[in-house]
Amino acid sequence: MTLRKKTLSLLISALMVVALIAVGPVISAQSNYPSRPITWIVAWSAGGGTDTASRVFVSFLEKELGVRIDVHNITGGGGAIGYTAAKQALPNGYTMTTIQSDLPKQSAMALSDLRVSDYDIIGSWSSQSPILAVAANSPWQTLDDFIEDARKNPGKYRIGVSDLGGVHHQPVVLLEEGAGIKLRAVSHEGAPQATPALLGGNLDIVSTWVKQTTPYVEEGQMRYLAYFGDRRLEEFPDVPTVKELGYDIVWHSPYGFGVPHGVSDEVKEVLTAAMQRVWENPEFLARVKDIGHVLLPLNGEEYTELLNQIETDIARVVELMAQAEN
C-alpha cells in the first residue's frame, strides 16, 4: 500500500469514528449544553507528551462541565489525520481536539492544507519550552562558551533533536542564525533517546525537555546551559533564558484546544468559562508542574494570535533550513 493510500485509509477510518461518536444536531442557544458525553481527539499516540498533557486538562474540564469527556487518539500523517477528523466533525460542541504547535506546522512546512482558521480556538492551558543541555564533563560552562567555540568550528558540533524541523530543532535553527554558528543536527525518535547519545559522547549538546532530563541534572550527569522559555524556571533559577543572553528567541510548545469552525457563541462561552475555572484550580496547577509544564492561560483570541505567530516563525525556520542545504 502506498503512503498516499495508507493516509487516505487512515483518514476515512478516523472520520467514521467521529461520525459514530459525535453524531447529533447542531445545538441551539436554548439547548442545555453540555447534556451528553463529549469526544476529545488527540492527534498523537496514547502515553505520549501531547496525550498526557491533554488527559490532565480533560480530567479537570469534565468536572467543570459535568459530563464525561472521552479521549480518542487518532494518529497518523504527522497529526494531520486527527486534526482532519476534528475539522470534519459536526460543529455542535461535542467534538473537541487538542491544538498545539504542530497545527501551524502543517501549513508552514507544507505537510497538509490544514490551517488554524479551520477551528474555533477556545484557549490554552500550558506550555513547555526546549532547554539546551550538555554532559557534566563538557568544557562549556555557559551558552556563550559554546557559541564562541562553535563560531570557530562551523559544522563541527552535533546537537541532538527529537526530529529535524521539529519543536526542539526549530529554536536551534534561529539560534544558529542569530549567533552566526553552524551545527550538525542529529535526529532521534523523541527527546529521551537523545540523552543516552549525549552521555555516551555521540552528541555534543542537546535541545530537549526539562522534565525528561531533570533526573540526570540532579544526579550530576548533565548541565543546563540556557532555556528557550520567556522566563527562568523556578526549579533552576540559575539557568538563564536564551533571550536574556542577547538572542531574541523565545520558543513555546503550547497546549490548548479548539472545536470545529462554526460552533455557536453560546457553546464557546460555556467552554471558555469552564476552562478559566480549571486555570484557577490549585490541584490543576500542581499537575501542570508535575508534567514539566508552565501555566499558559490564554483565551481564544490570544491563543489564536500565538498560533499564527508560531506559523510565521516556523516558516522562517523552513526558509533557513532550505538555505543551509544550498
Residue 192 pLDDT grade (very low, low, confident, very high; cuts 50, 70, 90)? low
- Does the pLDDT of residue 151 top 80, yes or no? yes
Q: Tell me which residue range forms the domain holding 12.
A: 3-24+33-126+254-298
Which residue, of 251, 279, 313, is where some domain finishes? 251
Give me the sign of the Cα torsion angle 291, 46, 9, 23: negative
User: How far is the C-alpha of 245 from the C-alpha of 35, rounded, in Å?
Assistant: 51
Q: Is the pLDDT of residue 229 over 70?
A: yes
The chain-wide mean pLDDT, for the chain, equals 90
Residues 120 and 185 placed together within one structural domain of the fold: no
Poorest-confidence range of 90-94, 163-167, 272-276, 290-294? Answer: 163-167
The per-residue pLDDT for 164 is 85
- SS3 of residue 120 by DSSP: strand
Query: Measured between alpha carbons, how far is 208 from 202 in angstroms, rounded to an integer?
Result: 15
More confident residue, 324 or 40: 40
* CATH code of 15's domain: 3.40.190.150
Average pLDDT score over residue span 192-211: 92
| Model confidence at 47: pLDDT above 90 | no
Q: Report residue 171 CA to chain centroid gap.
A: 13
Dihedral of alpha carbons 208, 213, 216, 220, sign: positive
Residues 116 and 194 in one domain: no
Answer whether the bond into residue 192 is a cis peptide, omega within 30°: no
In order of 14, 122, 321, the CA distances from 324 in angstroms are 37, 37, 5
Nearest Cα residue to 129 out of 218, 303, 249: 249
Q: Would residue 317 count as lying in a domain? A: no
Q: Under a CB-based contact definition with an 8 Å cutoff, are residues 100 and 255 in contact?
A: yes
Reduced to 3 states (helix: H, G, I; strand: E, B; else coil), residue 34 is coil
Split at pLDDT 50, 70, 90, the class of 28 is: very low
Express as a percent the part of the chain with pLDDT over 90.
79
pLDDT attached to residue 31:
64
